[in-house]
Structure 1
Amino acid sequence: MKKTLVLLIFCCINSLHSQSNISGIIRDETSLTPINNVTILVLKTGKQYFSDEKGKFDILSNGTLEFSHPGYESKQITISENGTIVISLAPKVNKLQEVLINSLSIPLQQKNAIEAISIINKQQINRGNNLELHPILNKVPGVFMQHGTLNTNRITIRGIGARNLFGTANIRTYFGDIPLTDGNGESAIEDLELGAISRIDIHKGPSSSSYGVGLGGTILLHPDFSLNTPVESSISSTIGSYGLQRNVATVKVGGKVSNLNVIYSNNRSDGYRANNTYHRNTLTVTSSLEAGKKNHLSLIASYIDLKAGIPSSLDEETFLTNPRQAAFTWGRSQAFEDVAYGILGINWTHDYHTSFSHHTSVFSSFRNNFEPRPFNILKEKSNTFGIRTRIVGDSKIIRKNFNWTIGGELFFDNYNSKTFENLYEDFPIGTGSVLGERLSDLDEKRNYYNLFLESNLEFTPKLTFNLGVHLNQTFFEIKDLFTNNEDSSGDFDFDPILSPKIGANYELTNSVIIFGNIAHGFSTPTSAETLLPDGEFNANIKPEIGWNYEIGTRYQLFDNKLYGTFSIYSLRVRDLLVSRRTEEDNFFAINAGKTTHNGIEGSINYQLYQSKQKQLLLSFNGTINDFQFDEFIDLDNDFSGNDLTGVPSHVVNIGLDYVTKKGIYGNLNFQQVGQIPANDANTVYSDGYELLHGKIGYQNQIGSHIFYDIFLGANNILDNNYTSQLQINARGFGGNAPRYFYPGLPFNIYGGINIKYRL
């Protein structure tokens, strides 16, 4: 009996000594947001543990642990010694409503949001050639990206930004916690390397108080981090029609508490049109570090070197008969842009308590551009610096869950632009642009501050209210360094703008959620729009102001085989900024009216077939737009009641995705786009069109370390002629017809291979 008791005690002591004291944190793989209430199962004993509110855990165990949470792929790791670890869970493709969003403000599951949010995950980003962003964004209800060339794009959300003459405006964009929107309110996200992005969150409408309240909404690009993964390197090569070449090299090193990702890409294209070459090199570095149990550091750096020709838009006759031609003067001057662009951001997170944390980011960027155009040659330089900080807390109010964030953002943008004569007409054909005398030299300081407060109150287990307020003030200071003509120097400070919002989310059943919000937003004029044709400041110019009213639903039915969203909204905008051209290269802005943006958006996803070996997913999303000028009088022209310029009447996408366990995969997407008004008078429209895109591939491995992916894709399989972008309100000069149309690519293919080595 004594021997048995001694043996039992010995076994218990030995068992305790064989166990390991494991602590750590569990995060979303893409956003790095801590995930609470993750189930930690000890497979040997069947005992369960759970992560706390900050995703942290501290257990005594050994052997293999399994980490699982709704909406995420389960992960198993084997424990052999004491230590601290970081676990990253990947979102499931068909359970996006469970995925955490708002990682940099108030983390919550997507299903609990009070606004329409679309999430594009890594699998969806990889459905195309990984170079072009527009096939990805144009599958999102309410979002439409026009793409004249690889370097000429315009993104609109719910019609906002469609009237911007050049590029994307009135939409806030961030890469991690780094603002990509410049001091003029313009963004260029198409130049970033898609391979460095793990997820894209799109908040539609001015309802994201913590990220700014652009009238169109906010686009959040999540950098790709690698946590608790082995050393991995990969090389990818793609070739395609019209001289497309894309080569990408990646190195990832992920430890228990730190990681480093380095990705380099080289992208080339001869282009479909004359004067349409494209060459872009990018280098992106991301890294994160768990500095103890209370501190987390992350770094994001990206450098882009881009040179691309500018063929510009075509008149209707040339568009129909010779779409490969460049616009005459743009081809003759061999117009191009040569851009060097870099961004750097460092983020520090400190957990004071399980329910109280502090997040601070410091960021900087530079952009240099040399751009010969037929009417002048532009040289521009900009440098930005800023800081963004916020406190996030979880509290109780009358025994109700209450989480909140309060913070601010300071942004300083120094910009210089010089223009010079382009003397190309004085030289033989084929010479291209020639630098002449200086025409202008402007220094601009474009600064703003944002202050924000946002909170969620769980009124009942099924009903949550969201309240937010955002305060912005923008300042322009212009120094004219070349005063041969009018002196454009001066200061222009806009009045502070207060933007409130209120929203609610109600869980009608376990499978159906309804939400709604009322939110205020604005868009300030660019510094160029504050100047009158004589160079004087327009003291009467005002920001565009809008109110968004929205109600919608998210649903998951039939054992999650059917899921999607549906939204109805009305966005009312006043003091509409209208660009009035005075000559080919000069324009100014006026506040000339009101617009109403009424729309319906919806998505349906259905798992047609699913087994352990394969799955087939059918998806449908659609947008119906009813955007009109309520009041719009410009000089003697009354455009009231006309359709809003530059926005399609509707967009419909139908897609099929096929994946097998053996590595075979494929997707097919059919898109139908309605006609688009090309001018405010609605006398010219682009025709509606249909596009069919597809991609097939095969993934497998050689041994236990080498993985490969071979793929082949095709765009515009139906080989339809279509307008990929409109130059709205184009005017003809010198007796020439207006040039409204950018031709889209005809049928084109691409293919390649990705080889990955993992230790």
Structure 2
Amino acid sequence: MKKIPSLLLGLTAIAASAQQAQQDSITQLDEIILLEDVVPKRAVGITASSTLGPSTFEKFNPIDIASAINQVSGVYILSGALNTNRITIRGVGARTLFGTDKLRLYFNGIPVTNGTGSSTIEAFDFENLGSMEVIKGPKGTSFGANMGGAILLDTRPAFENETRLTNSFTVGSYSMVKDNLTLQHSDEKLDLSFSYNHFKTDGYRQNNNFERDGFLLASEVNLGTKSSLGILVNYINYSAQIPSSINQSDFDEDPTRAAGNWLAAQGFEANKYSLIGLSYTQEFTENFKNTTSIFYTYLDHYEPRPFNILDEFTNGFGLRSQFQGGNLSTGEYSFGVELYKDEYHWGTFQNLFGDNNGNGSLQGARLSRNREFRDQLNLFGTFTLPLSNDLYAQAGLNLNSTHFDFRDLFNTGDTNTSAERDFDAILLPSLGLKYQLKNGWLYTNVSRGFSNPSLEETLTPDGVINPDIAQETGMNYEVGGKLTFLKPKLYFNFALYRMNINDLLVAQRTGEDQFIGRNAGETRHQGLELDAKYVISLCNQLQLSPYLSYTLSDHSFVDFVDEDNDYSGNPLTGVPKHRISSGFDLQHSNGLQLNLTHQFVDEIPLRDNNSLNSESFNVLHAKLAYQTSLSNHVSLGLNAGINNLFDTNYAQSVLINASSFGGAPPRYFYPGNGRNVYGGVRLGYLF
């Protein structure tokens, strides 16, 4: 670890000795204030949202998307590994055992959440993102009205009327190597961005290797003064070993250990993910336009687990069309349709790793073969009306219809479990007010949301469609605002909310790969979110920006009876009550920048009976970066960073209500990485 200070001092010396170069568009530092509307806002009308931009992403290791997302108050991503992420918004989705659900994920305006509501943030390269907008709760009528809300990802736009080639190369601990090569071009007729990325690491833990290759093509062609065509192609191919969760003893003694059965099976997952989308925008008049997207997704997934081998693929396709207009009785309106259909094929096989002479997984006889057709339709509309010069009102309505058709292709006769399930169409209204102040604005919103059951929740352990399962529904009540003070140097955002969720979906684990879903009662989600940033000019060349995000999550079971156990009144499992993200950015006009970031996560209830909690923790990261121009055409960027500065042993993700199998203690914990370092070089060429 003695090399760390030397590396940081070396970068500082380079910056101090460099002559201040003339700043052009290659190296200009774009100031992006956390949670301010400094990137194009996609949330319709007065709908409140939180936005992150490139300057926030670049505070962290280019593989650490979790730390960036956790800068947003009310949003928490539990990351068990690079390929095992669970995003929760205001506690919604915290009870999901694996993956992200109960929210909608969009990439360049295209929905990428599958037919049962699952989203995979790891399907996208962090370095290709230009912005991330988060709509918390169901108030985003135009984006599905899910209880958790929506996350809108967008790629980095090309600089206007420029052609540039950029290569970012990063190395770090655990034999980490990452390279991202990007070509961007912009002129009056065409915006084009193409990126290729390669990433490999041995990982912090046993059985933790990860390797990924992928490319991204994002293009927009102007067909005339009033129409354009967008093309989007995203392809990711990765293989990731799975160390899985570990028990308390292993977590305390040696967090680098993998779970014994996963290590013996050398468990892993291999994924090939493709997204192809076409978008057409037509401006009919100055105040009326339409954007229509058609898209296709494909996921090929192979995962040897200790208990079986899962082999699956999904074909998905859909359409999203949105009309926007103004001056309808002096207001603005938006309406449209979103249709998503996918065909999910999956089967399981015996895993004979115990008979494979220590060589890991070995595929045996087939255990199941299934197919599921899933359809989801969203009709949506909003109308925003100014009631005065300072007061605005917005009404929204979403109609959702969901259908599942399950086919058992393995069993025959009486043992065949094929079935269909239609959910009743559900209306989801939203009403909001916004009051414009001299130094900001205040808002209030009342909205209804829903969540579909996941695949595990729709089926019984015997693979039969559960006819009694219902969608979660709930009401969201929210007030908040965004304010600036001191002309402006202090940025302050806040939100108070309360969500009452009925028909709580619970996935009970009855075996290592067996779950049963049911509606277990009611939860109350209430909380406070605060975000503040202060910009201080220490001198003409030096700027300091401390910031703080605080989340209070007072979430609990209102009515939850599980067989003979009454958990009513207990804290909601999987949610920390207090969470803080803080830090400061120190920036010099010569291109030198220091970022120090801190995260505090309170203890997390691990069992519904409130008998066990994870330990709270603090983690600090530091990064030093320097940018300069070597000539009118060539730019150089250097960076070095340290994650987990004080080598804290902490759980970056947890598994709630973990069960014990074969007499082994339950495995609750996914350890975060120990202290680790990274450094990178970015070279840019402006044609």
TM-score interval, smaller chain: over 0.9
Aligned to 2:322: 390
**Aligned counterparts, 1:426-465, within 5 A:** 426-429=355-358, 431-465=359-393
Separation (CA, whole Å) in 2 of partners of 1:90 and 1:217: 32
Separation (CA, whole Å) in 2 of partners of 1:445 and 1:691: 43
Displacement of 1:98 in angstroms is: 4.8
Note the aligned Cα RMSD (angstroms).
Answer: 1.8
Q: Indicate the SS of the match to 2:252.
A: helix
**Aligned counterparts, 1:641-680, within 5 A:** 641-680=569-608
Displacement of 1:537 in angstroms is: 2.3
**Maintained 8 Å contact 1:226/1:254:** yes
**Maintained 8 Å contact 1:486/1:535:** no
**Maintained 8 Å contact 1:225/1:288:** no
Q: Is 1:133 equivalent to 2:38 in the alignment?
A: no
Q: Would you identify which runs of 4 or more consecutive aligned residues in structure 1 move more than 6 Å?
A: none
Aligned to 1:242: 174
Separation (CA, whole Å) in 1 of partners of 2:90 and 2:578: 11
Aligned to 1:583: 511
Aligned to 1:597: 525
Q: Indicate the SS of the match to 1:457.
A: strand
Q: 1:708 aligns with which of 636, 654, 661?
A: 636
Q: Is 1:93 equivalent to 2:25 in the alignment?
A: no
* Stretch moving more, 190-199 or 605-614: 605-614
Displacement of 1:293 in angstroms is: 0.8
Displacement of 1:639 in angstroms is: 0.9
- Indicate how the Cα distance of structure 1 residues 705 and 552 shifts in structure 2: closer, same or farther if over 3 A, else same: same
Equivalent residue letter for 2:421: F
Aligned to 1:267: 199
**Maintained 8 Å contact 2:34/2:533:** no
Aligned to 1:41: none
Aligned to 2:126: 194
**Maintained 8 Å contact 1:487/1:535:** no
Separation (CA, whole Å) in 1 of partners of 2:37 and 2:314: 40
**Maintained 8 Å contact 1:173/1:187:** yes
Displacement of 1:254 in angstroms is: 1.4
Q: 2:254 aligns with which of 298, 304, 322?
A: 322
Q: 1:756 aligns with which of 680, 684, 687?
A: 684
Equivalent residue letter for 1:664: L
Aligned to 1:204: 136
Displacement of 1:191 in angstroms is: 2.8
Separation (CA, whole Å) in 2 of partners of 1:94 and 1:337: 38
**Maintained 8 Å contact 1:114/1:516:** no
Q: Indicate the SS of the match to 2:67.
A: helix
Separation (CA, whole Å) in 2 of partners of 1:137 and 1:471: 29
Aligned to 2:88: 156
Equivalent residue letter for 2:578: H
Q: Indicate the SS of the match to 1:496.
A: strand
TM-score normalised by the chain length of structure 1: 0.85
Could you report, residue by residue, the CA deviation over 1:170-196 in whole angstroms, capped at 9, with x for unpaired residues?
A: 011000121111001000012301222
- Indicate how the Cα distance of structure 1 residues 102 and 139 shifts in structure 2: closer, same or farther if over 3 A, else same: closer
Displacement of 1:410 in angstroms is: 1.0
**Maintained 8 Å contact 1:114/1:504:** no
Structure 1, unmatched stretches of 5+, are 1-74, 78-88
Separation (CA, whole Å) in 2 of partners of 1:728 and 1:288: 44
Displacement of 1:275 in angstroms is: 0.4
Q: 2:211 aligns with which of 273, 279, 284?
A: 279
Aligned to 1:475: 403
Could you report, residue by residue, the CA deviation over 1:520-574 in whole angstroms, capped at 9, with x for unpaired residues?
A: 1001112332222333322211001111100011101110101120111001101
Displacement of 1:231 in angstroms is: 1.5
Q: Indicate the SS of the match to 2:191.
A: strand
Aligned to 2:350: 421
Q: Indicate the SS of the match to 2:121.
A: coil
Could you report, residue by residue, the CA deviation over 1:276-323 in whole angstroms, capped at 9, with x for unpaired residues?
A: 000011100111112111102211110000100000000111111121
Separation (CA, whole Å) in 2 of partners of 1:153 and 1:96: 23
- Indicate how the Cα distance of structure 1 residues 356 and 415 shifts in structure 2: closer, same or farther if over 3 A, else same: same
Q: Indicate the SS of the match to 1:282.
A: strand
Separation (CA, whole Å) in 1 of partners of 2:453 and 2:56: 35
**Maintained 8 Å contact 2:457/2:506:** no
Aligned to 1:488: 417
Separation (CA, whole Å) in 1 of partners of 2:29 and 2:325: 25
Separation (CA, whole Å) in 2 of partners of 1:461 and 1:472: 34
Equivalent residue letter for 1:93: I
Separation (CA, whole Å) in 2 of partners of 1:92 and 1:240: 27
Aligned to 2:622: 694
Separation (CA, whole Å) in 2 of partners of 1:102 and 1:389: 18
**Maintained 8 Å contact 1:120/1:201:** yes
Separation (CA, whole Å) in 1 of partners of 2:34 and 2:355: 62
**Aligned counterparts, 1:515-594, within 5 A:** 515-594=443-522
- Indicate how the Cα distance of structure 1 residues 95 and 575 shifts in structure 2: closer, same or farther if over 3 A, else same: closer
Aligned to 2:14: none
Aligned to 1:51: none
Aligned to 2:435: 506
- Indicate how the Cα distance of structure 1 residues 90 and 352 shifts in structure 2: closer, same or farther if over 3 A, else same: farther
Q: Indicate the SS of the match to 1:131.
A: coil
Displacement of 1:457 in angstroms is: 0.6
Separation (CA, whole Å) in 1 of partners of 2:542 and 2:384: 40
Separation (CA, whole Å) in 2 of partners of 1:731 and 1:373: 17
Equivalent residue letter for 1:239: V
Separation (CA, whole Å) in 2 of partners of 1:282 and 1:753: 20
- Indicate how the Cα distance of structure 1 residues 616 and 417 shifts in structure 2: closer, same or farther if over 3 A, else same: same
Q: Indicate the SS of the match to 2:115.
A: coil
Separation (CA, whole Å) in 2 of partners of 1:622 and 1:154: 20
- Indicate how the Cα distance of structure 1 residues 669 and 416 shifts in structure 2: closer, same or farther if over 3 A, else same: same
Aligned to 1:40: none
Separation (CA, whole Å) in 1 of partners of 2:666 and 2:142: 42
Separation (CA, whole Å) in 1 of partners of 2:572 and 2:675: 30
- Indicate how the Cα distance of structure 1 residues 510 and 95 shifts in structure 2: closer, same or farther if over 3 A, else same: farther
Equivalent residue letter for 2:643: N
Q: Indicate the SS of the match to 2:590.
A: coil
Separation (CA, whole Å) in 2 of partners of 1:435 and 1:677: 37
* Stretch moving more, 605-614 or 680-689: 605-614
Displacement of 1:613 in angstroms is: 2.1
**Maintained 8 Å contact 1:228/1:257:** no
Q: Indicate the SS of the match to 1:495.
A: strand
Structure with greater Cα Rg: 1
Separation (CA, whole Å) in 2 of partners of 1:533 and 1:171: 25
**Maintained 8 Å contact 2:344/2:372:** yes
- Indicate how the Cα distance of structure 1 residues 114 and 410 shifts in structure 2: closer, same or farther if over 3 A, else same: closer
Aligned residues, how many?
Answer: 662
Structure 2, unmatched stretches of 5+, are 1-22
Separation (CA, whole Å) in 2 of partners of 1:729 and 1:341: 31
Aligned to 1:258: 190
**Maintained 8 Å contact 2:503/2:519:** yes
Q: Indicate the SS of the match to 2:123.
A: coil
Could you report, residue by residue, the CA deviation over 1:399-418 in whole angstroms, capped at 9, with x for unpaired residues?
A: xx300011101111011001
TM-score normalised by the chain length of structure 2: 0.94
Aligned to 1:357: 289
Aligned to 2:157: 225
Separation (CA, whole Å) in 2 of partners of 1:98 and 1:647: 28
Aligned to 2:5: none
**Maintained 8 Å contact 1:227/1:257:** no
- Indicate how the Cα distance of structure 1 residues 114 and 294 shifts in structure 2: closer, same or farther if over 3 A, else same: closer
Separation (CA, whole Å) in 2 of partners of 1:494 and 1:465: 32
Displacement of 1:679 in angstroms is: 1.4
**Maintained 8 Å contact 2:29/2:591:** no
Separation (CA, whole Å) in 2 of partners of 1:724 and 1:552: 30
